[in-house]
Chains A and B, each alone.
Chain A
Amino acid sequence: MVLMVYVCKIFFCRFSLGDARRPLHETVVLVEDVVHTQLINLLQQAAEISQLRGARVISAEDLLFLMRKDKKKLRRLIKYLFIRDYKSKIVKGIDEDDLLEDKLSGSSNTNKRQKFAQDFLNSIDQTGELLAMFEDDEIDEVKQERMERAERQTRIMDSAQYAEFCESRQLSFSKKASKFRDWLDCSSMEIKPNVVAMEILAYLAYETVAQLVDLALLVRQDMVTKAGDPFSHAISATFIQYHNSAESTAACGVEAHSDAIQPCHIREAVRRYGRKIGPLSPFTVRSRWAASVVTIG
């Protein structure tokens, strides 16, 4: 599968979010599937919402609306949009050609995306919670943890490794927009997402992969039987079931830190935290989730 190669690359870059150097192929396949399912799910729901609105395209508003329940994720998304705007503004000022391009395209909106998001949330906000998000300055813990993890990892790398690491971090779904669209099978949909919506979807895909990695790492950490841990005997039965016959819990635990994330970790993460993964997490139906994951490889 051509797309697999692409996603493999993406996931490889996600090792920056905590994975080892070369991800296992099976893990990548699994992650791709999970992300794919999530996004298709999201798209379908967004399409329904658009239809309700009577719009012809899926726009950012639909996605924002779907995510309204999860404040943390929403906030991260808003911050991302803001950074995107800010970066365009800065880069534009640097090169004269960019400046001309911007003027010629007629859009001199510096905070286009963020303002747009803010306006929309304003319109649907009934309790004032959503708007409070914009003023909220509290630290995003998840992001903080990711930054710390990256910092720890990079400290021990040498310069060649670091260069490779940086390059891989720069990959994103939005860079391969056409492939991304095909992957999501947008052409077969009646209502298609517009450009901003695609940007947001690319970001959400990235976030989903990141979340999966975060949670899988947590799972992996849990698998290490620590001396003196009173609950080590209480590892879930379903968890053990996912290991293939060759592995044993102990073996898994021993290799935990230096090894790549195994598919078993991913599956367990989904099982345990299925409700939290993905942009639609508050709406996720657990049974549908568990079923879809079990049928994979």
Chain B
Amino acid sequence: MPSAPSRAPRPLAYWVIPQLPTADPLPMDEETETYLELYLDQCAVQDDFVPPRSPLFSPVVPYVYTPNPSNPETTFNSHLESKETSGNFSSVDLSFLPDELTQENKDQAVIRSKHETEENSETQSQQSRLPLPSGQDVGPGSDSSSLSNSRSHLHPGDANSIQSAPAKPNCNSSPLASITPMTPMTPVSECCGIVPQLQNIVSTVNLACKLDLKKIALHAKNAEYNPKRFAAVIMRIREPRTTALIFSSGKMVCTGAKSEEQSRLAARKYARVVQKLGFPARFLDFKIQNMVGSCDVRFSIRLEGLVLTHQQFSSYEPELFPGLIYRMVKPRIVLLIFVSGKVVLTGAKERSEIYEAFENIYPILKGFRKA
């Protein structure tokens, strides 16, 4: 967290602290440095230290957060606000709700407008980008963005990001240690070119108003409601292909998306549907609850060996389930490992956890490779 608003606004380029030997040998390309920068942004850097490398970043200007000289305090405060109240921040996501403008304060309005521009550039960019370990779906591809746009990239990035330390006020003792294994922006693991693909994201959001499920079911397309079976409306949309469970309390569960942004987008679409039906829907506390990834190591695995040597983490009952259930402690992920070599990873709240878990398990699996 940036330490205090009492400081004079300064270029918030929280750069690499000199004692970073690990960073050096790695091929640093634009994306890597951006990632590093953003990651460090979240850690308190006490000194206004600008390392010699900063000139390198001039071409990457869009990612340098320079406060608008005309209104430094406001933007700085907004930055802080967005960090501290990530929940509230997401409440201003609904760019299509003009009436919200009068309710929110000016600061949040500023943020929202930035976010709108982020929205636009987002939808323009491709969906099939390389999944970044930080979860940032804003890549260097949005070259056209102006400075204000880029600022908006930073903010929602910080607040929304699925990075390892999203809105945590304190940074880990060795933040770089945890990112070093994943430093290449393209999450190519060090040992193999296999990247787990996200298959399903479950998220929740609070629409913050009581809903009449019957009315929704009657007027909305693709909505099912069977109160005898289940006390929620089941709604589906085709793009992104997802399913939502909408409860009368206003809470909603969104499942089926293949990326964090898609999940958020889908959730917003559902919220819009509800809003169009006349309910004062908002978009509070959007949170990813679970992420599921899968990949294929492309060799057979001898599960009997694995269950014996990793007894305290694994359970393998082939007559119950054909896969071995491996409960990794750090990160806290559950992996389903199959004889064929397919691996399913679940229980993640952030994308990086999935990648990290796979990195951890891959060498172990290689050890039990079957012929």
**What is the interface size of chain A, counting residues whose CB is below 8 A from a CB of the partner?**
36
CB-based contact A155/B302 at 8 Å:
yes
Interchain CA distance A155-B202 in the complex, whole Å: 39
Interchain CA distance A296-B318 in the complex, whole Å: 31
Q: Inside 8 A of B322's CB, which chain A residues have their CB?
A: 166, 170
Question: Which of B74-82, B184-192, B304-312 forms part of the interface with chain A?
Answer: B304-312
CB-based contact B234/A100 at 8 Å:
yes
CB-based contact B320/A154 at 8 Å:
no
Q: B interface, by DSSP: helix, strand, loop or mixed?
A: strand
Q: Inside 8 A of A103's CB, which chain B residues have their CB?
A: 230, 232, 245
Of A95, A104, A155, A166, the contact of B339 (CB 8 Å cutoff): A166
Residue of A nearest to B256 (CB): A96
Within B302-348, which residues are at the interface with A (CB < 8 Å)? 302-305, 307-308, 311, 315, 317-322, 325, 334, 336, 339, 344, 346-347
Interface status of B371 (Cβ within 8 A of chain A) = yes
Distance of B199 from chain A, by nearest CB (Å)? 8
The answer to whether A90 and B336 touch (CB under 8 A), given A154-B302, A154-B304, is yes
CB-based contact B200/A106 at 8 Å:
no
The answer to whether A93 and B317 touch (CB under 8 A), given A86-B325, A104-B229, A155-B305, is no
Q: A interface, by DSSP: helix, strand, loop or mixed?
A: helix
The answer to whether A166 and B318 touch (CB under 8 A), given A96-B243, A100-B245, A106-B230, is yes
Distance of A278 from chain B, by nearest CB (Å)? 18
Of B200, B304, B318, the contact of A96 (CB 8 Å cutoff): B200
Interchain CA distance A90-B325 in the complex, whole Å: 9
CB-based contact A90/B308 at 8 Å:
no
Q: Inside 8 A of A91's CB, which chain B residues have their CB?
A: 321, 336
Distance of B301 from chain A, by nearest CB (Å)? 10
CB-based contact A147/B347 at 8 Å:
no
Interchain CA distance A87-B300 in the complex, whole Å: 22
Q: What 0/1 pattern do residues 143 to 163 of A give for CB contact below 8 A with B?
A: 000011011011100110011
Interface status of A171 (Cβ within 8 A of chain B) = yes
Interchain CA distance A90-B229 in the complex, whole Å: 23
Q: Inside 8 A of A93's CB, which chain B residues have their CB?
A: 202, 290, 292, 346-347
Within A159-184, which residues are at the interface with B (CB < 8 Å)? 159, 162-163, 166, 169-172, 174
Q: Inside 8 A of B317's CB, which chain A residues have their CB?
A: 80, 83, 87
The answer to whether A94 and B304 touch (CB under 8 A), given A86-B325, A103-B230, A170-B322, is no
Interface status of A206 (Cβ within 8 A of chain B) = yes
Interface status of A84 (Cβ within 8 A of chain B) = yes
Interface status of B370 (Cβ within 8 A of chain A) = yes
Q: Inside 8 A of A148's CB, which chain B residues have their CB?
A: 308
Interface status of A218 (Cβ within 8 A of chain B) = no
Interface status of A196 (Cβ within 8 A of chain B) = no
The answer to whether A83 and B255 touch (CB under 8 A), given A90-B336, A154-B305, A166-B339, is no
CB-based contact A87/B325 at 8 Å:
yes
Q: Inside 8 A of B200's CB, which chain A residues have their CB?
A: 94-96
Interchain CA distance A23-B320 in the complex, whole Å: 23
Q: Inside 8 A of B334's CB, which chain A residues have their CB?
A: 90
Within A50-100, which residues are at the interface with B (CB < 8 Å)? 80, 83-84, 86-87, 90-91, 93-96, 99-100
CB-based contact B318/A206 at 8 Å:
no
Distance of B138 from chain A, by nearest CB (Å)? 27
Q: What 0/1 pattern do residues 215 to 233 of B give for CB contact below 8 A with A?
A: 0000000000000011010
CB-based contact A151/B300 at 8 Å:
no
Q: Inside 8 A of A80's CB, which chain B residues have their CB?
A: 317, 320
For the complex with contacts A100-B234, A159-B371, 5 further pairs of A-B residues with Cβ separation under 8 Å are A87-B320, A96-B243, A100-B245, A162-B339, A172-B320
Ordered by A's residue number, 20 sampled pairs between the chains whose C-beta atoms are within 8 Å are A83-B315, A83-B320, A84-B320, A87-B317, A90-B346, A96-B242, A96-B243, A103-B232, A104-B229, A106-B230, A151-B308, A153-B304, A155-B302, A159-B371, A162-B300, A162-B339, A163-B339, A166-B318, A169-B319, A174-B319
